[in-house]
Structure 1
Amino acid sequence: MNVLLCVQRYLNLVEQSVLGASAPLASGVRRASVQGGRAGRLMHSHKFVELLVVIALSAGAGGLFGAVFDRPLWPAVLHGLTIGAPILLFERGFLLPQLRSKLRRASTPTFLILSLIGMAMAVVAGNALAEGMLRAAEVSWSEPEVSEGITLVYSLTIAALLITAFRVRDLIGPKTLLNLLLGRYHKPIREARVFLFLDLTGSTRFARQNGDRKALALLGRVFALLAGPVRRSGGEIDDYIGDMAVVTWQLKRGVRNAAAVRCLYDFLDEVERDAARWRQDFGEVPRFRAALHCGSVLTAEIGLERHKITYFGDVMNTTSRLEGLAKELNKDVVLSTELLDRLQPLPEGIQMEDLGIRHLRGHDEPLAVSALVRGSS
């Protein structure tokens, strides 16, 4: 019972830390939702699920250690929590998020070395914390010289596997990695999807004035910032094409609670909130042009030495034409009325402007098009 009390106290500390660290993030999402209502509740639910996953993985790794090396179960679980939870919370962006962002932007060798050093420190600190809690609870664990050595080797092995998996996930995307491992699109599948084409405007001018390296640094900052809103909305970044990002959602997920639109404005709000830093680092705040559309695509896994999940269908070409139309009409956000009808109601403060029936280049059939603008509801 003493060990259970130690575990419970530790979980309480972890939960308080996570909820406190995620409060600013949840607040940002609530500002993009309908008075922070349904989207805010979904955000808290999502964070709570992530917390449970972190706890389960950490406790499971500790339990496995106990089973493999014949150690008592509950002390092993406690070691798993004190060692694994901080590592996973850091990886998920709950702890020291700015440091995590810088680390993920590093080159792969630097990322691996620094991650391994950091995890080794976390192993030593977590092991010491667990040992202290067990001594305070007067619970026998094992001979210290044996326990510390085995725990360190085991933890570093698991850590090395984790950081390798995390890096691969970062390189190709978490959902893409999962789908490739499961072979979901090994055979082409017809599915309905929402697509967002997000283009950084003025990038050619910026590169000409500031040089290619500065322009590339700007793009890197922009795409790194986009990852958070996309993940929170349940979408996935499909590709980067020059200065444009292609984001996609399965249709039901993308239209539910106008998730695709909320993702876009969540991202734009984050850019505006950090305007001073953009001006300091790049001399201006980036501006964007976006197009959204939905439709049926054929999704398939292609490639041999480099696997990729790709989408085939007219919806991709149409979204690209809509992005061109947005530029032609000087509109920030353009979307097909077909998608707009599915997205209702729109987030508070976002209004629709009817652009009528438009003939898009390369399309025989005209398309009803609308724009999204900020305004009072």
Structure 2
Amino acid sequence: MRTFQQYLLFTFRSILFWVLAFAFMIIIRYFGIFEEKGVSILPKYELPIQDLLFYVCMSSIPFGIFYAAVEFLFDRYLAKTLSLGVIIFSKTFLYLVTLIFLVSTVVEYTGYMLDVSLAEERGWWRTNKTFWSIMIYFVIASLVFSFIRIANEKFGQGVFIKMLLGKYRKPQEEKRIFMFLDLKSSTTFAENLGHYKYSQLIQDCFYDLNRIVRKYDAEIYQYVGDEAVLSWKYKRGIKRNNAVALYFAFNDRIDQRSEYYQEKYGLIPQFKAGIHGGTLMVTEVGSVKKELAYHGDVINTTARIQSQCNTYNTNVLISESLLNDLQLPEKYITKNINDLLLRGKAQTVNIHSITLA
């Protein structure tokens, strides 16, 4: 259900983007062509700008839907199996064929509305300068859309726009939840598998993780070796118990592919997690490689909570302050672990383990 909602949201954004992109192109063409010397259009063939915008915007809607479907299907089913070059070429080819069809349809329909033949023969687009100018514009617009999408995935939903506006040039206070997710027995696995196959194992695990992060509104802050650091805005992490549900959904995902892991690596990977939330500072760092950095006790405490998983022979540990804000259903069993004086901290932190009933 959540995946379908994500697809609908992405489709809406795709339609909105392409409606605006094609409308902008038409406005430039409509007002610019009359300023060109030597250009003359008979009054009977003129189409009011509002009508022209309507026809083009309506034709861009199916293209926006198709564009969203292609992007979604490629990312979901082919991103791992195909190289980036093949994916880009395949997408571009599909978009080209679709655009030729749409432009041809628009030209024929516009000719019908104006009672004039605008395209006299099939394949007119091969030598038509207007068509290829549209194609160049389309390629640029498509790159812009892809860039915005990649930036949103990199920094988190809505963060990219805030960075463009310079919000994080100075440190900002935010309340967030973090999860440190670490592969258990990683040293043993690395020795037994060798560095190449071990690297493939980590790649497969994090690919499975990426398949579910959007479903639980999570953002991947960074990867550090065999560890992934996930983050939520506090309200999003609390909503539907996302900060806890993601871990068990990730376990289910690995269990579903247990035969694959067993056959390829001779093992089924398990992860341990530490979860904590609170207020910290976020700011933009770097000039050569810009990124957002989180500073504060929340990060350090979460990492140290996760480090206690082996000590207490449990897979998930969560701070009591965060647990009290959640409303976990009965399928989750929590167990209080006595106040711990975590390394580097002056005050104790009460920690609970979480398991499934």
Alignment TM-score, normalising by the size of structure 1: 0.76
Q: Report how far residue 113 of structure 1 moved.
A: 6.6
Bigger shift: residues 43-52 or 217-226 = 43-52
Partner of 1:99: 78
CA distance in 1, matches of 2:235, 2:157: 20
Root-mean-square deviation (CA), in Å? 2.9
One-letter code of the match for 2:183?
A: L
CA distance in 2, matches of 1:194, 1:200: 20
Query: Quick one: which of 270, 281, 293 aligns to 2:276?
Result: 293
Q: Deviations over 1:52-94 (max 9, x none)?
A: 2222223322323332333833442344334443233332x24
CA distance in 1, matches of 2:5, 2:267: 36
Partner of 1:370: 352
Contact 1:258 1:347 in 2 (8 A): no
Q: SS state of the match for residue 293, structure 2?
A: strand
1:357 is the counterpart of 2:339: yes
**Cα separation, partners in 2 of 1:169 and 1:294, compared to 1, 3 Å:** closer
Partner of 2:11: 51
CA distance in 2, matches of 1:285, 1:202: 11
One-letter code of the match for 1:320?
A: A
Give the 5 Å matches for 1:269-288: 269-288=252-271
CA distance in 2, matches of 1:163, 1:266: 29
CA distance in 1, matches of 2:326, 2:11: 30
Give the 5 Å matches for 1:259-270: 259-270=242-253
Q: Deviations over 1:253-284 (max 9, x none)?
A: 21122121122222222222222222233332
CA distance in 2, matches of 1:231, 1:250: 13
Q: Deviations over 1:285-335 (max 9, x none)?
A: 211000101122121112222222111111211111111111111101001
Partner of 1:219: 202
Partner of 2:220: 237
Q: Deviations over 1:84-142 (max 9, x none)?
A: 43233332x24672113445xx4xxxx35741452243222343156358858984594
Give 5+ residue unaligned stretches, structure 1: 1-25, 30-42
Q: SS state of the match for residue 342, structure 1?
A: coil
Contact 2:285 2:293 in 1 (8 A): yes
Which is higher, the Rg of structure 1 or of structure 2?
2
Q: SS state of the match for residue 307, structure 2?
A: helix
Q: Report how far residue 220 of structure 1 moved.
A: 1.8
Give 5+ residue unaligned stretches, structure 2: 31-48
- Sequence identity, in percent? 24
One-letter code of the match for 2:97?
A: V
**Cα separation, partners in 2 of 1:264 and 1:125, compared to 1, 3 Å:** same
Bigger shift: residues 259-268 or 186-195 = 259-268
Q: Report how far residue 171 of structure 1 moved.
A: 5.7
One-letter code of the match for 1:97?
A: R
CA distance in 1, matches of 2:149, 2:6: 20
One-letter code of the match for 1:354?
A: N
Q: Report how far residue 196 of structure 1 moved.
A: 0.4
Q: Deviations over 1:9-41 (max 9, x none)?
A: xxxxxxxxxxxxxxxxx3xx6xxxxxxxxxxxx
Bigger shift: residues 275-284 or 183-192 = 275-284
Partner of 2:186: 203
1:124 is the counterpart of 2:104: no
Q: SS state of the match for residue 325, structure 1?
A: coil
1:80 is the counterpart of 2:63: no
CA distance in 1, matches of 2:61, 2:90: 19
Q: SS state of the match for residue 52, structure 1?
A: helix
Q: Deviations over 1:175-210 (max 9, x none)?
A: 554443232221111222111000011222222111
One-letter code of the match for 1:303?
A: G
Alignment TM-score, normalising by the size of structure 2: 0.80
